[in-house]
Amino acid sequence: MTTRIFISILSCLFVVSGLFAQQTPAAKQTKRILYINAKIHVGDGTVIENGALGFSEGKITMIGDATRIKIDRTAFDEIVDARGKHMYPGFIATDTQLGLVEIDAVRATRDDRETGFLNPSIRSIIAYSTDSRVTPTVRSMGVLMAQISPVGGRISGQSSIVHFDAWHYEDALIKADDGIYLNFPNYFTRSGWWAEPGPVKVNKDYADNIKLLRDYLAEGKAYSELDKPKQTNLKFEAMRGLYDKSKRLYIRTDYARCILEAIDIAQDFDINICIVGGADSWRVADDLKAANVPVIINSTQRLPDRDDEDTDLCFKLPKLLYDAGVTFSFGHDGAWEQRNLVFQAGQAISYGLPYEQAVKSMTLNTAQTLGISDQAGSLAKGKDATFFVSEGDVFDPRTSELSDAYIQGRKIDLSNKQKALYEKYKAKYDAEK
Amino acid sequence: MKHLSLLVALCAICWQIAAQETYPRNGVYDEREGYYAITNATITTAPGKTESNATLVIRDGKVVSVGPASVPKGAVVIDAKGKHIYPAFVEPYSNYGMPKPKAEGERSRSQPQMLSNKSGAYSWNEALKTEFDAASEFTHNKDAAKALRMLGFGTVVAHRWDGLSRGTSVAVSTGDDRENMLIMKQQASHNLSFKKGTSTQNYPSSLMGAISLFRQTYMNAAWYTKTSPEETNLSLEAWNDAQNLPQVFEVRDRLELLRAATLGKEFSKNYIMRGTGDEYMRINEIKATNAKLIVPVYYPDAYDVTDPFDALQADLGDMRHWALAPSNAKRLNEGGITFAFTSSGKKDTKAFWKNIRKAVEAGLDESAALAALTTVPASYYGLDNQVGTLAAGKVASFIITDKSIFEEGVTIHHTWVQGKGYVNSAWKEDVFVEGNYTLRYGSKSSKLEVHGGDKPALKIALDSSKLDVKHSLKGDLITMSFTPDGEDGLVRLSGRVKGNNMNGRGQLANGRWIKWTANITREPLEKKDKKKKDEKVADAAEDDPLDEINVTYPMLAYGWTDKPQQGTYFIKNVTVWTNEADGIIENANVLVKNGKISSVGKSLKAPSGAKTIDGTGKHLTSGIIDEHSHIAISRGVNEGTQYSSAEVRIGDVVNSEDVNIYRQLAGGVTMAQLLHGSANPIGGQSALIKFRYGYQPEEMKYENAPGFIKFALGENVKQSNWGDNYRSRFPQTRMGVEQVFVDHFQRALEYEKSKGSKDFRQDLEMDALLEIVRKQRFITCHSYVQSEIVMLMRVAEMFDFRINTFTHILEGYKVADKMQEHGSAGSTFSDWWAYKYEVIDAIPYNAALMNEQGVLVGINSDDAEMGRRLNQEAGKMVRFGGMSEEDAWKTVTLNPAKILRVDDRVGSIKAGKDADLVLWSDHPLSIYAQSEMTMIDGRIFFDKAKDKQLRDQIREERALLVQMMLDAKKGGAKTRKPKMKHKHHYHCDHVEDELRD
């Protein structure tokens, strides 16, 4: 290898990884941009085969069928022909610990689980790191926004909704403290620890656990009726939003019995809830629908909980909920795993869920549940220009390849640490050839 | 000849039949004859041999005669009219009289316990307690003996239930006496199990570890006798002494039974297996092992399914077991398997007899049931010359019952042990002979019905009706009173009962004294109640829901009643991904015959007799091969208690009854390498299996597969993420890991040199390591970061072999050129990362980069869920790094076949290869593709249409079983709450101790 080649490799490495290492947020949108001829999956269940989408100053200014409406091309500074490509609203991850956890096994990098049992005042947003090396890998798979939630305890704390192009958490915020996360008492408990899982047992204290929870919600409600409590209770202050419905209660649970109990609680305390997990939700779909309770499905790519269940039960769960008229969104466990959120939807499509409904359950349904549909969740005039363009069908790993992505009109860098490492080593090997 | 009342006879309890010769005594000798004649009984001398109206004569604790013989002079007579006599039962599996198991010491919290805590010249492993001698430790226990006698047991074979090798057992009788008199046979058997018991030592923590320990112990024991070792090992000496005894093995389920049998076969041992009552689920396989069994008769309680949500948690396999468990013994008997019953297994033995009768009700032949309580267990321990039957010269241990032992409500009145009678519940002497009598009193006569039994009843038949006759009986004195038809006052009679006749004096209502007699007639007594019961039984037989509950293989949801068989299939007009030079052929036909791919081509015609499968618009590929899986493993994926466990074999613990096998089939996976975990640098030997769902463990293993072994590097083996208590087992750094390898390979070479020497001891761990060095066994190494990857290659090169496979290999892309040069393959995840520090540089482009450098690359799962959609994971390889579709597809088929060195038989669609095929609804790399049919060896193991049928069946069968359980609950049956089945999806790093009880 000559010195010159070596130097050029080196500089090449600097360019690639150097750029990425800074992970620089994009500049504010200054140009008016028009995308034409894309297959636009609007997010509301509709699709435009030859779509046009214009946006300026971070907001969508027009959307329509390019073959039908007249477009004033002069109104745009930049026109992108996206023929053959697909456009989707930015996908939204829910109940994720992205930015709270960097490396699962390294305790120092975990900020997702506060000690204590009832922690409604805990706020995930303040620990959210915009510098996570993980987030860009998720972003390059079409997930552009996320609800960051704490875990642990009975009441884990408050979630917030962020987008993935920010200098610090305040920049990232779409909605602060949008909801409170609750780990519903489990009908079953599992003993042991991660390396030594113990047997599953019926939770003998289930009824007591429920009572404790109800009592706590009752106290919180009573407190919320006081204008000036004698002493300020931070936990109950945080819960005020539940009772005036400015915050939703996100309830993590899978079992049918627990879901029904959760619906009861929602009605008794007149609060908005959302079931997160919901493996059994199809069994109580009528109740969910009647109570207007949305579900965030925790992974379609998971195993059924019971041996006797249909082997593909989790794959077809979205279809079952759709048929029953329950509003649902796709969710997925963990932090780095959100890169595969998109495939949770893909999996459901071949089990009967209509394609545009799959899109909707990645976008508008989620935005509505999270209470951000006025600004995100679908491609509509006036909403944030947060979307991406894919070379092919984004739900199929074979064809899923993002070409462009925008967050509030800012064109984001789709590279990430992994891509940089790829290019670094590819260059090394190419040079050695 | 003296007619002795029972009460007197049974005072015998306080005296001794045979003197304890060596013991001094205090007082006048009072030795008695122990000479009894028990007359008029129905005597079952042996299963299937019953004599009625027979006499049993015993003397000095032995049977003198049994049969119609007259009563000899000098014998005390006990009239057992109407009673039944059976040989006393033999309990083959007990801990009666044994000391309570106690740990030898404690295990430190922060240090692994590498050696036994027992002091003395015993085994290195605390779970090998062969030196335990039950006869030396046996102590009589009055309450326990009584409890056994109440169940009818006269003889018990007992050992201490503690450890893998539990030492020897002792046969004792259940009498109350000095131990010296009770022991019937010392060292009745050598007892083994797969439970560590009180041993606090870490090794073994897995079932495969236990099996390996047994294997090594057999070898050590042979070495110990053959050579003159410097060490004295009392456990091994005891082990050698115990080898000529019956070997009794306790197992936890049917599969463990098969595993123990396989182990036994290796060392020419045919164990008597102490099972759990689920043997009927694998009857043919168990029959083939020739194992004799000891089975408990405790059946699972019904689930309380009143609450439909609770009912959801009840597992179909468990529910079926509830329904079928009582038929276990019947099925064993019909299957030609020898079995004995044991009352052990539950503290509370109340249900023992009830359940034996349930077994009989379920169709078990009565004499087989009796044999299982008498002759069979006696024969297991060579006690059949003493007990189990009643014949001259045998030990006088027997029971007296009021009716057939298999009849509901039977009472075991006496249990006689070694010629001594023990009263469990005294019988009332039945003075009445049942029957119709003619009662004559004064000038009148009338019909009198006499019903015997515990509650004798007299009924007088008057012209208009039947009247109960008030009566009282004291000894043979009887008084009766009744009001005859059409009269007012009472007739009162008093007299004696003499067999079939009664007579005496009485007074009529008017005060006149009369004589009366009652003589039996020939007219038989009508018994209404029994008839009713028979009718009931007949009714029930008409539509017994039990008939619809079948044994399936495996006994789970989606199990087969008939296992899939090979067929001739013609798959036509399909897009064939050959993985060969022909690439992807459209509109092609494939013929499958005798389990192999017979031919592939466009112009192929369907031969007659072939079943045609239309592949129009579909894709046909060879089956997916998962190079890294931990499903279908029983009781422990890691034997991580030592830093090398090269001796353990996953192949010993393949779990054929894992529903995940079926789920993988639904995802087009036909084969997987089941790997040991990654808790230690040198793990265990792998098993390559085909997902032949329904077949038994041994049948799942791929025939003639080359041997592999799991190695591991990095955080798991240095216990980095285990918390602060795990800081002392070597190695704790990557530096130490290298030393483990060099040291072990060096030792293996030295071991090789010592072969042929006089004192050579075969060591299974060294055998495995030597196989590696000699290129007969191949390494699959769990690996992450580049330094350790290169290190291991260099270690291998030092010993002149190659690392076959790096698995996970997340930084393989950084050293792909070095791997290529070394010649090792990489089997990786598609996109996992960030879950621990050593994977922070993992990238989804890893496979593509390695592939480009000429490294043989596979994509694996290490996960039960991902395993069933590896086709998508391969699809991601097109997305990340731009692999060609054919190359991407090979990462889950041909490449793993090559990595596993079986590509001459599987991995592509080519004439002559195994017919392991998948028919896909769509492009196989697509997320939208579903397997419509998955075939292994020409047997269809998954089929969309059949799957739908199975689902319907599952729903129907569940509904039926739920109803049956509700009925059972209504009928007063005990129930338990259903709970979520313990799902055990193993990952590399699961290290639980699986050998606790």
What does the pLDDT look like over B695-706, one tens digit per residue?
Answer: 999 999 999 999
Q: Looking at the predicted structure, is the pLDDT value of residue B17 above 50?
A: no
Confidence class of residue B487 from pLDDT cuts 50, 70 and 90?
confident
The pLDDT, as a whole number, for residue A192 is 62
Number of CB pairs, chain A paired with chain B, less than 8 A apart? 165
Degrees (nearest 5) of the Cα angle B144, B146, B150? 120
Q: Please give the residue of chain A at the shortest CA–CA distance from B876.
A: A397
B528, B547, B568: which is the final residue of a domain? Answer: B528
**Hey, what CATH topology would domain A3-89+411-432 get?**
Urease, subunit C; domain 1 (2.30.40)
B878 shares its domain with B739:
yes
The pLDDT, as a whole number, for residue B15 is 44
Inter-chain CB proximity B834 and A102 less than 8 Å: yes
Q: Looking at the predicted structure, is the pLDDT value of residue B138 above 80?
A: yes
Within-domain flag for B486: yes
Confidence class of residue B31 from pLDDT cuts 50, 70 and 90?
confident
Question: Quick one: average pLDDT of B589-612?
Answer: 96
Cis ω on the peptide bond leading into residue B731 (within 30° of 0)? Answer: yes
Inter-chain CB proximity B837 and A202 less than 8 Å: no
What does the pLDDT look like over A220-257, one tens digit per residue?
Answer: 999 999 999 999 999 999 999 999 999 999 999 999 99
Query: Sign (positive/negative) of CA torsion B113, B117, B122, B126?
Result: negative
The alpha helices in B70-206, defined as continuous H runs, are 134-137, 142-150, 179-182
Q: Looking at the predicted structure, is the pLDDT value of residue A137 above 50?
A: yes
Query: Sign (positive/negative) of CA torsion A135, A139, A145, A151?
Result: negative
CB A87, CB A39: distance < 8 Å:
yes
Within-domain flag for B931: no
Q: Please give the residue of chain A at the shortest CA–CA distance from B716.
A: A195
With 0-12 / 13-18 / 19 or more C-beta atoms within 10 angstroms meaning exposed / middle / buried, residue B544 is exposed
CB B346, CB B94: distance < 8 Å:
no
Within-domain flag for B616: no
- Helix, strand, or coil (residue A288): helix
Q: Using CA atoms, how far apart are residues B400 and B422, in angstroms rounded to an integer?
A: 10
Q: Looking at the predicted structure, is the pLDDT value of residue B110 above 80?
A: no
Within-domain flag for B80: no
Q: Please give the residue of chain B at the shortest CA–CA distance from A400.
A: B879
Q: Please give the residue of chain B at the shortest CA–CA distance from A391.
A: B879
B801 shares its domain with B684:
yes
Residue A27 Cα, gap to closest chain B Cα (Å)? 28
Q: Which of B49-53, B503-507, B558-562, B594-598 has the lowest mean pLDDT?
A: B503-507
- Higher-pLDDT residue of B960 and B31 is B960
Residue A302 Cα, gap to closest chain B Cα (Å)? 6
- Helix, strand, or coil (residue A192): strand
Number of CB atoms found within 10 A of residue A368's CB: 17
Question: Quick one: average pLDDT of B841-853?
Answer: 97
Confidence class of residue B22 from pLDDT cuts 50, 70 and 90?
confident
Residue A250 contacts B, CB cutoff 8 Å? no
What does the pLDDT look like over A3-32, one tens digit per residue?
Answer: 444 444 444 444 444 445 568 999 999 999
Q: Please give the residue of chain B at the shortest CA–CA distance from A108.
A: B837
Arithmetic mean of pLDDT over chain B: 92
Which CATH number characterizes residue B652's domain? 3.20.20.140
Question: Quick one: average pLDDT of B118-138?
Answer: 97
CB B749, CB B800: distance < 8 Å:
no
Q: Looking at the predicted structure, is the pLDDT value of residue B511 above 70?
A: yes
Within-domain flag for B285: no
CB A166, CB A172: distance < 8 Å:
yes
- Higher-pLDDT residue of A11 and B978 is B978
> What share of chain A in percent tops pLDDT 90?
89
What is the tally of structural domains in chain B?
2
What does the pLDDT look like over B703-733, one tens digit per residue?
Answer: 999 999 999 999 999 988 887 777 888 899 9
Confidence class of residue B461 from pLDDT cuts 50, 70 and 90?
confident
Confidence class of residue B545 from pLDDT cuts 50, 70 and 90?
confident
Confidence class of residue B9 from pLDDT cuts 50, 70 and 90?
very low
Which CATH number characterizes residue B468's domain? 2.40.128.120
- Give, for B561, the enclosing helix (H) or strand (E): none
For chain A, the domains span 3-89+411-432, 91-376
Q: Using CA atoms, how far apart are residues B831 and B860, in angstroms rounded to an integer?
A: 11
Q: Which of B228-237, B327-336, B540-549, B580-589 has the lowest mean pLDDT?
A: B540-549
The pLDDT, as a whole number, for residue A191 is 66
Tell me how far CA of residue A61 lies from CA of A35, A194, A371, B88, B480, in angstroms. 12, 50, 22, 95, 112
Q: What is the pTM of this model?
A: 0.91
Contacts of A134 in chain B (CB under 8 A): 834
What does the pLDDT look like over B920-943, one tens digit per residue?
Answer: 999 999 999 999 999 999 999 999
The pLDDT, as a whole number, for residue A199 is 67
Q: Looking at the predicted structure, is the pLDDT value of residue B533 above 60?
A: no
Degrees (nearest 5) of the Cα angle A417, A422, A425? 125
Which residue of A206, A254, A303 is the best one to mutate when testing the B interface, meaning the one whose CB has the most B CBs within 10 A?
Answer: A303
Residue B846 Cα, gap to closest chain A Cα (Å)? 8
Inter-chain CB proximity A105 and B721 less than 8 Å: yes
B493, B528, B563: which is the final residue of a domain? Answer: B528
Contacts of A341 in chain B (CB under 8 A): none
Degrees (nearest 5) of the Cα angle A260, A263, A268? 125
Q: Looking at the predicted structure, is the pLDDT value of residue B466 above 80?
A: no
Tell me the DSSP string of A304-322: -SSTTS-TTHHHHHHHHHH
Q: Using CA atoms, how far apart are residues B754 and B732, in angstroms rounded to an integer?
A: 31
Contacts of B886 in chain A (CB under 8 A): none
- Strand B302-303 with A91-96, pairing: unpaired
Q: Looking at the predicted structure, is the pLDDT value of residue B165 above 70?
A: yes
- Helix, strand, or coil (residue B298): coil
Q: Looking at the predicted structure, is the pLDDT value of residue A266 above 60?
A: yes
Contacts of A342 in chain B (CB under 8 A): none
User: A91-376 belongs to which CATH class?
Assistant: alpha beta
Residue B795 Cα, gap to closest chain A Cα (Å)? 25
Residue A128 Cα, gap to closest chain B Cα (Å)? 17
- Strand A173-183 with B89-94, pairing: unpaired
Q: Using CA atoms, how far apart are residues B274 and A56, in angstroms rounded to an integer?
A: 78
| Most distant pair of Cα atoms in chain A: their distance | 78
Inter-chain CB proximity B845 and A419 less than 8 Å: yes
The number of C-alpha atoms within 13 Å of A321 and in the hemisphere containing its C-beta is 31
The pLDDT, as a whole number, for residue B577 is 98
Residue A396 Cα, gap to closest chain B Cα (Å)? 5
Inter-chain CB proximity A255 and B991 less than 8 Å: no
Q: Looking at the predicted structure, is the pLDDT value of residue B218 above 80?
A: yes
The pLDDT, as a whole number, for residue B589 is 97
The pLDDT, as a whole number, for residue A105 is 92
Q: Looking at the predicted structure, is the pLDDT value of residue B8 above 70?
A: no
Q: Please give the residue of chain B at the shortest CA–CA distance from A416.
A: B843
Instruction: Give the DSSP letter of residue B17.
Output: S
Contacts of B927 in chain A (CB under 8 A): 343, 346-347, 349-350, 395-398
The pLDDT, as a whole number, for residue A13 is 44
Domain range for B521:
435-528
The pLDDT, as a whole number, for residue B23 is 78
Tell me how far CA of residue B5 lies from CA of B11, B38, B426, in angstroms. 11, 12, 12
The pLDDT, as a whole number, for residue A10 is 43
- Helix, strand, or coil (residue B481): strand
Q: Please give the residue of chain B at the shortest CA–CA distance from A200.
A: B982
Residues in chain B, overall count = 997
* Burial letters B670-701, b for 16+ CB under 10 A, else e: bbbbbbbbbbbbbbbbbbbbbbbbbbbbeebb
Residue A200 contacts B, CB cutoff 8 Å? yes
- Helix, strand, or coil (residue B898): helix
Question: Quick one: average pLDDT of B990-996?
Answer: 78
Which residue from A137, A350, A401 is facing B879, i.e. has the nearest CB?
A: A401
B906, B930, B963: which is the final residue of a domain? Answer: B906
Arithmetic mean of pLDDT over chain A: 93
- Using CA atoms in the order B230, B232, B238, B242, what is the torsion angle rounded to 10 degrees? 10
- Give, for B684, the enclosing helix (H) or strand (E): strand B682-685
